[in-house]
Amino acid sequence: MQTGNGACSWLNGVSLTGRVLGGMIAFNKRNSTMDCRVRDFSSTGARVHLTNTAVIPDQFDLTIARKERSFRARMVWRSVDEAGVTFLGEYNNEMPVSLDLARRLRQSEAEKAVLRKRIAQLTDNGAA
């Protein structure tokens, strides 16, 4: 539901009415994505405009590249081509990589190099 000034009445944060931001909705373990336009963005939610809200689940990830922010969002209302969402939480895009993960990545890269070298040896021997 909207108030007379264009801000959504269900938003409690400061609304930036009039501004349109590009966004991307991701769901299905981020295997499915859909571009959208974000209006009435606030600290607690936003109104998103997209081609078909019926294919979007009730909860999804919303990324707003221009603001360099990503949120877990829940649909509060929907019409055919727009929806109101509330933010359940914000993803920390600057989260450091754990030491264990960095070590595992380095080990995987070393194993990959060994396997590539072995494949090259096998294909050279097979061609001769």
Confidence bin at 120 (pLDDT 50/70/90): very high
What b-and-e string marks burial along 107-124, b requiring 16 or more CB atoms within 10 Å of the CB?
Answer: eeeeeeeeeeeeeeeeee
Amino acid 54: pLDDT: 86
Residues 84-107: pLDDT tens digits?
A: 999 999 887 655 567 777 888 889
pLDDT of residue 30: 82
| Model confidence, pTM | 0.59
Alpha helical stretches, state H, 1-128: 99-127
Q: Which residue bears the tokens 């108030």?
A: 3
